[in-house]
Amino acid sequence: MNGKRIVVIGGVAGGAACASRCRRLDENASIVIIDRGPYVSFANCGLPYYVGDVIKDESKLLVANAALFQDRFNIEVRTQHEAVAIDRAAREIEVKELSTGRIYRESYDALVLSPGAAAVRPPLPGVDLPGIFVLRSIPDSRRIRAWISEENAKSAVIVGAGFIGLEMAENLVNRGLSVTVVEMLDQVMPPFDPEMARPVQEHLEKHGVKMALGDGVAGFESDAGHIVVDTKSGARHVGDLVILSIGVRPETGLAKSAGLELGERGGIHVDDQMRTSDPHIWAAGDAVEVKDVVTDRWTMIPLAGPANRQGRVAADVICGRDTKFRGVQATAICGLFGLEVASTGASEKGLRRAGMTGYEKIYLHPGNHVSYFPGAKPINIKLIFRKSDGRILGAQAVGEADVDKRIDVIATAIQFGGTVFDLEELELCYAPQFGGAKDPANYAGMIAGNHLRGDLPLADWQQLAADPALLVDVRDADEFETGHVPGAINLPLNQIRHRLGELPRDREVWLYCGVGQRAYYATRVLMQNGFRVKNLSGGFRTYTLITSSSDGH
């Protein structure tokens, strides 16, 4: 064979996708995958469920193995071989065979780096005590499983309330452990806005997970066979094991020592064809920095979908195609005790951090399907969009069913540069058990579109205390009695046309109801009668989310 020599470092999401696509495009290439771990193409995303015994058979985590790569794709896989240096001038890498210590050189025409990221182990006192784990690989999960059974573990402390930490919380609770989550921020799910993370926290607490939020870890001690997690506030959380899930750091050591350019966030810098600063070296996955499609900033998004797509783009380019990577939008989902938590695009705090203004947001709380069909579950949705033209910037959703479907629809719209007006027009599946003739994605577009057209002026819940507007609750009197926003008067929607005289014309009137629909009808009545009116998006449900979260006032 005298084709191109393609060497791929790292044989999981980005690397395996790249190598196998290279073979599909170039039957003559000679392709080798080098991985320092014992496996290639394994399902990292399944690891929490293997620890939790949902996936019982470890071999199910192996999506492919060396023999399959060889037989099906004619790709040579060398596991337990670590790439230790890149000689760019000679176009060779130095590889260490871990079982023998032998070092050898391997030449390439195209080199692909997909070394992933390492779980962060903070340099805190006691961090290396036995019983403190990270979760990144099959051997990691095997060690955690063994510790739970050998030590007969009854309790665990999880440090970090991101996706992996919370998935681990669910899985350990399901294995009968008592779980405490310690998180430095005062919310769970750091990528979410606080008011959207709040129902997630409540749901976890309902399922017995103890939360220690707003408190950083100071160190670890061992005490009478247990591990104590000491926090900065002076609290002590005791567990039989500790899982550190405080984020990942891109594996850039090889790239850095080879003099490849790193980006402003510390990941490997690549262009939109996944090419590094060396024209013969590509990179993909958790180790690279890419453009965020919404903010146009460089970012690092450690997710399997982008890693796979980046590997594929690199393969295309290596094999002579002009494919480009469009960027990332951080579409992600997590399931926690039956609650689905998903987001795509920018959060409000992400936009603020990026210094972006000129956005608007709406909240809605529709059912996953029509309410008359048994079993409808509400979904809390937040949609963020650009004020000037309605372009969708991001969405977050939390609910017990079909959350993924709504976020996926909105993610698709974002990918195509869609606006809230596009969401209004989407034609989506409908039969009673699946949705509504107006799907939640349509509703989100309609509410936002109505606002931008001036038919439904919105007020911001966060401004409530500061604004002199008259606050009117348009729900029925019995609903008002069971709880309302302090300072609000009650004027039920069905009576509003006959009681217009009770409302001021020299002052703004801000309306709310349960979730926003009745207040919208009332807004239209009042606007057409000459009142200055605004609507508090998402109604009393949104108010309770905001006031119970750290974003409250």
Q: Which stretch binds ligand FAD (CB under 6 A): 20-28, 113-121, 422-430, 503-511?
A: 113-121
Q: Which stretch binds ligand FAD (CB under 6 A): 207-215, 303-311, 313-321, 475-483?
A: 303-311
Render the burial of 404-415: b for 16+ CB within 10 Å, e for the rest. ebbbebbbebbb
Residue 10 sits at the vertex; the CA angle it makes with 137 and 128, to the nearest 5 degrees, is 40
Decide: residue 349, CB within 10 A, 0-12 exposed, 13-18 middle, 19+ buried: middle
Instruction: Examine residue 162 and tell whether it contacts ligand FAD (CB under 6 A).
Output: no
Nearest residue to ligand FAD, scored by beta-carbon proximity: 285
Instruction: Examine residue 12 and tell whether it contacts ligand FAD (CB under 6 A).
Output: yes
One-letter amino acid for residue 8 of the chain: V
Alpha-carbon distance 112 to 106, whole Å? 13
Q: Minimum distance from CB of 532 to ligand FAD (Å)?
A: 47
Phi, psi of 253 (to 5 degrees): -55, -50
Instruction: Examine residue 270 and tell whether it contacts ligand FAD (CB under 6 A).
Output: no
Candidates 55, 303, 356, 426: give the one binding ligand FAD (CB under 6 A): 303
Alpha-carbon distance 316 to 20, whole Å? 11
Q: Minimum distance from CB of 42 to ligand FAD (Å)?
A: 8
Helix (H) / strand (E) containing 449: helix 440-452
Candidates 21, 49, 82, 390: give the one binding ligand FAD (CB under 6 A): 82
Nearest to 345 by CA among 312, 310, 385: 385
Q: Minimum distance from CB of 45 to ligand FAD (Å)?
A: 3
One-letter amino acid for residue 117 of the chain: A
Instruction: Examine residue 83 and tell whether it contacts ligand FAD (CB under 6 A).
Output: yes
Candidates 21, 23, 136, 406: give the one binding ligand FAD (CB under 6 A): 136
Candidates 195, 251, 348, 551: give the one binding ligand FAD (CB under 6 A): 251
Alpha-carbon distance 203 to 220, whole Å? 28
Residues 291, 264 contacting (CB under 8 angstroms):
no
- The set of residues, in sequence order, having a beta carbon less than 8 Å from that of 21 and lying 6+ positions away, is 311, 312, 315, 316, 319
Q: Minimum distance from CB of 269 to ligand FAD (Å)?
A: 15
Beta bridge partners of 31: 6, 75
Render the burial of 167-198: b for 16+ CB within 10 Å, e for the rest. bbbbbbbbbebbbbbbbbbebbbbbbbbbbbb
Candidates 25, 55, 68, 304: give the one binding ligand FAD (CB under 6 A): 304
Q: Minimum distance from CB of 442 to ligand FAD (Å)?
A: 27
Pattern 278-297, ligand FAD, x by CB under 6 A? -------xxx----------
Candidates 7, 108, 115, 464: give the one binding ligand FAD (CB under 6 A): 115
Instruction: Examine residue 267 and tell whether it contacts ligand FAD (CB under 6 A).
Output: no
Alpha-carbon distance 463 to 459, whole Å? 8
Candidates 36, 203, 312, 365: give the one binding ligand FAD (CB under 6 A): 36
Residue with tokens 């959380």: 237
Instruction: Examine residue 203 and tell whether it contacts ligand FAD (CB under 6 A).
Output: no
Nearer to ligand FAD, 22 or 362 (CB): 22
Phi, psi of 176 (to 5 degrees): 95, 10
Residues 75, 31 contacting (CB under 8 angstroms):
yes
Q: Which stretch binds ligand FAD (CB under 6 A): 99-107, 178-186, 302-310, 406-414?
A: 302-310
Residues that are catalytic: 45
Nearer to ligand FAD, 36 or 312 (CB): 36
Instruction: Examine residue 399 and tell whether it contacts ligand FAD (CB under 6 A).
Output: no
Beta strands in 123-231 (DSSP E): 132-133, 155-159, 178-183, 210-213, 217-223, 226-231
Nearer to ligand FAD, 114 or 396 (CB): 114
Nearer to ligand FAD, 233 or 257 (CB): 257
In the chain, the N- to C-terminal Cα span, in Å, equals: 69
Instruction: Examine residue 440 and tell whether it contacts ligand FAD (CB under 6 A).
Output: no
Nearer to ligand FAD, 118 or 500 (CB): 118
Instruction: Examine residue 14 and tell whether it contacts ligand FAD (CB under 6 A).
Output: yes
Nearer to ligand FAD, 282 or 510 (CB): 282
Report the DSSP pairing between strands 210-213 and 178-183.
Answer: parallel
Nearer to ligand FAD, 41 or 523 (CB): 41
Candidates 196, 244, 307, 448: give the one binding ligand FAD (CB under 6 A): 307
Instruction: Examine residue 9 and tell whether it contacts ligand FAD (CB under 6 A).
Output: yes
Residue with tokens 């130095």: 94
Residues 503, 477 contacting (CB under 8 angstroms):
no
Helix (H) / strand (E) containing 16: helix 13-25
Q: Minimum distance from CB of 410 to ligand FAD (Å)?
A: 17
Q: Minimum distance from CB of 37 to ligand FAD (Å)?
A: 4
Candidates 19, 22, 44, 231: give the one binding ligand FAD (CB under 6 A): 44
Instruction: Examine residue 15 and tell whether it contacts ligand FAD (CB under 6 A).
Output: yes
Instruction: Tell me how crowded residue 506 is: count the other CB atoms within 10 A of its CB.
Output: 5
One-letter amino acid for residue 247 of the chain: G
Q: Which stretch binds ligand FAD (CB under 6 A): 109-117, 185-193, 202-210, 216-224?
A: 109-117
Token code pair at residue 160: 């970090």
Residues 156, 240 contacting (CB under 8 angstroms):
yes
Could you list the residues that contact ligand FAD (CB under 6 A)?
9-10, 12-15, 34-37, 44-45, 47-48, 82-83, 114-116, 135-136, 164, 251, 254, 285-287, 302-305, 307
